[in-house]
């Protein structure tokens, strides 16, 4: 019996190979589809942004203290104040890394980038930049509409607070973030901008450093009418004891995560602060 004739000629083989090669090159040139993104978050704030942007199901791992929303607590932790577990992050083969320059070591981030992994940086210094981060994350989200909705909600809340409190008689406020040493913030911080939404005045707004260390004498000379800190009732008592008897003014303690993380919950801090400042007798 004669041998069977090959089903592909040499020309056909070359054509098929060309088609497959072009298709493969086209596939690798495309970004990973939103629904298949494998995402690692290296800061609590970027974790909150990811969930708000509809990317929660894409998260493989997060940083220490990524505790909101509660689902984030179930994820593996690959970063902390001690650094980033480079080997573990690479083993997870992420399509995208969410990072914060202010809290993540740049050397390790550069190493991760050298492996061709895209890094999305969120370094918001004001509320508008938080909303902008959400809009930018929409391109990676399987639910981009959620990202844009979250951004728009923040912008609407900012407008509402400005309209409600901007015309109030300004109160002089000390933003206090420690006692040993005693330090505060300038106008060039997210926290100071939150304060300004309430129509209040940061007594160290003009400082050239974003987080200046100050003395008791400098604070007393500026005669604050209120003090804003983070924590609960115990922290309020501690701050009052620190200033007694020289300074006896209302102390407002905000949820630390709300006030210090550059995420959507900053608006909860703003709403709470504005309401409590408005209740202080003028």
Instruction: Name beta bridge partners: 79.
Output: 63, 84
- 166-278 in CATH: which number? 3.40.50.1980
Rounded Cα distance, 147 and 141, in Å: 8
Report residue 260 as tokens. Answer: 């210090």
Tally of CA atoms within 13 A in the half-sphere of 269 that contains its CB? 26
Report residue 23 as tokens. Answer: 């298709």
Rounded Cα distance, 273 and 252, in Å: 8
Rounded Cα distance, 154 and 267, in Å: 7
Residues annotated within the binding site are: 65
pLDDT for position 259: 97
Rounded Cα distance, 101 and 123, in Å: 6
pLDDT for position 282: 76
pTM for this prediction:
0.84
Rounded Cα distance, 242 and 239, in Å: 5
**Number of helices (H), then strands (E), in the chain:** 11, 10
The CATH architecture assigned to 35-151 reads 3-Layer(aba) Sandwich (3.40)
pLDDT for position 169: 84
Tens digit of each residue's pLDDT (9 = 90 or more) over 209-224: 999 999 999 999 999 9
Tens digit of each residue's pLDDT (9 = 90 or more) over 144-193: 999 999 999 999 999 999 999 978 889 999 999 988 899 999 999 999 99
Q: Which residues of 215-224 are buried (b: 16+ CB within 10 A; e: fewer)?
A: eeeebeeeeb
Q: pLDDT in tens for each of the 282 residues of the chain?
A: 333 333 233 333 333 334 333 333 333 333 444 444 899 999 999 999 999 999 999 999 999 999 999 999 999 999 998 999 999 999 999 999 999 998 999 999 999 999 999 999 999 989 999 999 999 999 999 999 999 999 999 999 999 999 999 788 899 999 999 888 999 999 999 999 999 999 999 999 999 999 999 999 999 999 999 999 999 999 999 999 999 999 999 999 999 999 999 999 999 999 999 999 999 987
pLDDT for position 15: 36
Judged by DSSP in three states, 247 sits in coil
First to last CA, the chain: 107
Domain range summary for the chain, segments of one domain joined by + = 35-151, 166-278
Residues annotated within the binding site for cyanocob(III)alamin are: 65
């Amino acid at each position: 019996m004669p041998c069977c004739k090959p089903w592909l000629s040499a020309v056909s083989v070359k054509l098929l190979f060309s088609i497959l090669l072009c298709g493969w090159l086209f596939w690798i040139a495309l970004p990973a589809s939103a629904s298949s993104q494998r995402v690692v978050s290296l800061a609590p704030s970027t974790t909150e942004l990811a969930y708000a942007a509809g990317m929660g199901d894409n998260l493989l791992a997060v940083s220490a203290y990524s505790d909101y929303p509660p689902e984030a607590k179930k994820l593996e932790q690959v970063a902390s104040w001690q650094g980033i577990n480079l080997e573990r992050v690479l083993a997870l083969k992420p399509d995208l890394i969410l990072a914060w320059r202010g809290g993540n070591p740049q050397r390790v981030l550069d190493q991760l980038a050298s492996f061709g992994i895209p890094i999305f940086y969120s370094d918001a210094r004001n509320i508008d930049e938080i909303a902008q981060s959400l809009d930018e994350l929409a391109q990676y989200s399987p639910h981009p509409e959620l990202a844009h909705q979250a951004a728009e909600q923040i912008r609407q809340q900012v407008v509402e607070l400005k309209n409600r409190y901007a015309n109030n008689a300004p109160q002089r406020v000390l933003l206090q973030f420690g006692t040993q040493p005693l330090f505060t913030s300038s106008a060039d911080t997210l926290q100071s901008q939150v304060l300004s939404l309430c129509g209040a005045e940061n007594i160290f707004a003009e400082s050239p450093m974003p987080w200046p260390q100050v003395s008791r004498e400098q604070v007393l000379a500026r005669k604050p009418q209120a003090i804003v800190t983070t924590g609960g009732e115990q922290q309020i008592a501690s701050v009052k004891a620190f200033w007694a008897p020289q300074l006896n003014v209302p102390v407002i303690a905000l949820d630390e995560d709300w006030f210090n993380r550059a995420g959507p919950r900053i608006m909860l801090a703003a709403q709470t602060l504005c309401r409590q400042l408005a209740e202080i007798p003028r």
